[in-house]
A and B are shown apart, each in its own frame.
Chain A
Amino acid sequence: MYWLKRNLPRLVIAPSFGVIAWFVYGFIFWTIYISFTKSKLLPKYELWGIDQYFRLWSMPRWHVAVENLFIFTILFIILCVFIGIVLAILLDQKIRAEGFLRTIYLYPMALSFIVTGTAWRWILNPSLGIEKFAQDIGFETFTFDWLVTPGMSIYTIVIAGVWQSSGFIMAIFLAGLRSVDDEIIKAAKIDGAGIVSVYTKIILPMMRPVFMSAIVILVHLAIKSYDLVIALTAGGPGISSDMPAVFMTQMAFHRSEIGLASASAIMMFLTVSAIVVPYLYSELKREDDRK
């Protein structure tokens, strides 16, 4: 009985731990293994070496996808965090109808990326959306055709992604702002700090953990971004807005290149790890130091 009491938490955790160990970590290792095989239509298990990685990096399309990933991730995170913080600070000024406004900004998050992508595809389409509207009301030389211009289409994905996610980041920062002790702000004001320096010098630095959550969420949203690309541009025009996740799905299920797709999945996995792991490590270490 005593044994049961002592081990009950472990017993309760065990099934979900087992499931995660198998379905997340197990399959990560499976994918790593497959990326070293010659698998085409179906998985094969004879090892082939690292040729799939050579093939992957010799494909121009993969280079386009990786470049787009960096453009998208960097812009997406910077813009989301910036807009999120500004909105949160503005909402934090004890304004009227805050609940109502907060809901409006948060609402895009309730939509799936597919809906966002489809809506923005119509808004940005030159013969249906903004461009046509502006031309119809008299600005005949107005052009806004990023969606159909190779080289610019990736930025339309940034626009739609930021529109979708910045409200959520605002909510996270708002919660963070609310947890800051009023006394500190009052003390700072007594010492003669202006509102700007209160925020930039005191409050935002205190919100490190909030930054961490926001950035970790945004990084994985960015790297996983598949449905938004599919709904908005489907990787087009041509292959100009291709992303690694789209590339991977195409190779695995459209082109019967499971080995190559696994190799690209591992590259994505390493990219995420390379960004998130050091960040998490430094942040968690800092917390340990504090203790």
Chain B
Amino acid sequence: MKKIIIAILAIVLAPTLSYAGSKAEVLHWWTSGGEAKALQVLKDNFAAQGGEWKDMPVAGGGGDAAMQTLKARIVANDAPAAAQIKGPTIQAYDREGVVAPYNIDAVAKAEGWDKLLSKQVAGHMKCDNGKAYCAAPVNIHRIDWFWANKKVLDSNGIKMPTSWDEFNTAADKLQAKGIIPLAHGSQPWQDATVFEAVALGIGGNKFYKKAFVDADVKTLGSSTMVKIFDQMRKLKGYTDPGSPGRDWNVATGMVMEGKAAFQLMGDWAKGEFAAAGLKPDVDYYCASTPSNNGYLYNVDSFIFFKIKGKEKVEGQKLLASLIMGKEFQKVFNIYKGSIPARLDVPMDDFDKCAKKSNADLNTAAKKGGLLPSFAHGMTLELGVKGAIQDVVTEHFNSNMSSQDAVKKLSAAVKAAS
């Protein structure tokens, strides 16, 4: 009887024993085209190092579905090794006590991440009041981009605008000719994306920081904010009636076809142009939206939770080290359309827009214009961010006056925080 039991145990346990080494279960929502391809690089690297990657893709809703799964797992005391979490949410999870004892910090210290990352990016990756690394960055997306159809602009004698007034003049000209000046999908997050770029341009870097990093109620209710909403109302007039609810990539398609001239969108839009075989400066222009050396960034990252079991901890360490690997940062970001978070990755193989993004990043960092995007959850508590987004999208999609919007904005932020 004993022998039989041992035999059964041996059979049952055999597969688990043969996988000894490092294990990592990774929750993410990069399941579409370029993103999936980019992530495959990481999976292959992980397997090549003898690790066992357990994929946990949860598609849909821009990460909503993934958040539901993640929270259920954490509450059940069964957190995955790593999850695609960014911005202040990283520190929020730390405050819930599910991240300490910061398994990857040793790797980060040994590899000298402090030197490999800019101070700003490193700050987002640290828990425990900035003492220990608890997340690893994969990329830097720029949000404040204008994408434009070259043919449409050239044939109408329009240059990429360097001020919002210039943009308005160009847009009026295009509209008179029956071209939609601004391709836009009026979904709350897209409205907020446009809004933050306008706020950065009209309010300036210091204003942006006060309003959307410090959530200063006085700044949110200021007369500058009224001007920003005025410009939003103008932009609304430059969109077409089919805009509400349109997906961002459909809007990008309108620029590609020449139905519309401009789109304001983060640099993932580049993936759409690339997929259609279009090239920067040949078929389309990319330029930052008008601002004084501002740069709104979104850093995607993986957070590493508290986890039990030696192989799982080893898996986390291996994963963290691979994510910060030079080769991975390069290949991943070429697929994804962003630029590497790691500073010493050569930019030679990247396209023109990515090179510009990289150069602008350095200038912005020097001039104090490197700022976190609030629309993409890099700053502010999610509740406050949501409250601002509600007002922005409500104003954009109704006849609300700019003054009322500003009043509502400061009230909503007060209520949410």
Q: Which B residues touch A254, using CB under 8 A? A: 64, 67, 382, 386
Query: Can you name the residue of chain A whose Cβ is closest to the Cβ of B385?
Result: A255
Q: Please name all residues of chain A whose beta carbon is closer than 8 Å to the beta carbon of B386 when the two chains form the complex.
A: 250-251, 254-255
Beyond known contacts A238-B188, A253-B64: 8 more, CB 8 A cutoff: A42-B75, A42-B98, A150-B398, A233-B245, A238-B397, A252-B68, A255-B383, A255-B386
- Name the CB-closest residue of A to B240: A127
B207 partner residues in chain A, CB cutoff 8 A: none
B residues contacting the other copy or chain, number (CB 8 A): 37
Stretch at the interface among B89-97, B196-204, B293-301: B89-97
Check A236–B381 contact: CB distance below 8 A.
no
CB contact list, B67-95 vs A, under 8 A: 67-68, 71, 74-75, 89, 92-93, 95
State the main secondary structure of chain B at its contact with A. helix
- Top 7 nearest A-B pairs (CB, nearest first) are A127-B242, A238-B397, A237-B397, A237-B244, A238-B394, A148-B244, A255-B386
Q: Quick one: closest A residue to B384, CB to CB? A: A255
Indicate whether A61 sits within 8 Å of B75 (C-beta atoms), given known contacts A148-B241, A253-B68. no
Which residues of A in the span 214-255 have a Cβ within 8 Å of any Cβ on B? 233-240, 249-255
CA distance A237 to B243 in the complex (A): 9
A126 in the interface (beta carbon within 8 A): yes
CA distance A235 to B244 in the complex (A): 10
Contact call A41/B244, Cβ cutoff below 8 A: no
Q: Which residues of A contact B244 (CB under 8 A)?
A: 147-148, 233, 236-237
Closest to A150 in B: B398
CA distance A252 to B75 in the complex (A): 14
Q: Once bound together, how far apart are the Cα atoms of A71 and B64, in whole Å?
A: 27
Main secondary structure of the interface of A (DSSP, over half): loop
Q: How far is the CB of A232 from chain B (nearest CB, A)?
A: 8
Q: Are B245 and A256 in contact (CB under 8 A)?
A: no
- B75 close to A256 (CB less than 8 A): no
Q: How far is the CA of A16 from the CA of B252 in the complex (A)?
A: 51
Evaluate contact between B242 and A148: CB separation under 8 angstroms. Answer: yes
Q: How far is the CB of A112 from chain B (nearest CB, A)?
A: 14
Determine which residue in B98, B385, B393 has the highest number of CB atoms from chain A within 10 A of its CB, and name it: B393
**Chain B CB within 8 A of A7 CB:** no
CA distance A55 to B411 in the complex (A): 12
Q: In the complex, are the beta carbons of B92 and A41 less than 8 A apart?
A: yes
**Which of the residues B68, B241, B396, B415 comes within 8 Å of A238, measured between beta carbons?**
B396
Contact A253 B415 (CB under 8 A): no
Q: What's the Cα separation between A238 and B244 when bound, in Å?
A: 8
Docked CA distance A147–B187 (Å): 13
Q: Does A179 contact B (CB under 8 A)?
A: no
Given contacts A148-B244, A249-B64, A257-B383, contact A42 B96 (CB under 8 A): yes
Interface set, chain B 356-400, CB cutoff 8 A to A: 381-383, 385-386, 390, 393-398
- On chain A, the residues within 8 Å of B74 by CB distance are 42
Asked if B186 lies at the interface with its beta carbon under 8 angstroms from chain A, I say: yes
List, sorted by A's number, 22 A–B pairs whose CB atoms are closer than 8 Å: A41-B89, A42-B75, A43-B75, A59-B412, A60-B390, A121-B245, A145-B241, A147-B245, A148-B243, A233-B245, A235-B188, A236-B186, A236-B397, A238-B396, A238-B397, A240-B394, A240-B397, A251-B386, A253-B64, A254-B67, A255-B386, A256-B92
Residues of chain B lying within 8 A (CB to CB) of residue A200:
none
The answer to whether residues A237 and B382 also contact, given A42-B96, A147-B244 and a CB cut-off of 8 A, is no
Q: How far is the CB of A252 from chain B (nearest CB, A)?
A: 8
Asked if A40 is at the interface of the complex by the 8 Å CB criterion, the answer is: yes
Is residue A24 contacting chain B, with contact meaning CB distance below 8 A?
A: no
Contact, CB under 8 Å: B188 / A236: yes
The CA-CA distance from A101 to B277 in the complex, in Å, is: 49
A41, A60, A126, A148: the one within 8 Å of B408 (CB): A60
- Nearest-Cβ distance from residue A126 to partner chain B, whole angstroms: 5
Contact call A256/B382, Cβ cutoff below 8 A: yes
Could you tell me the distance in whole angstroms from the C-beta of B89 to the nearest C-beta in chain A? 7
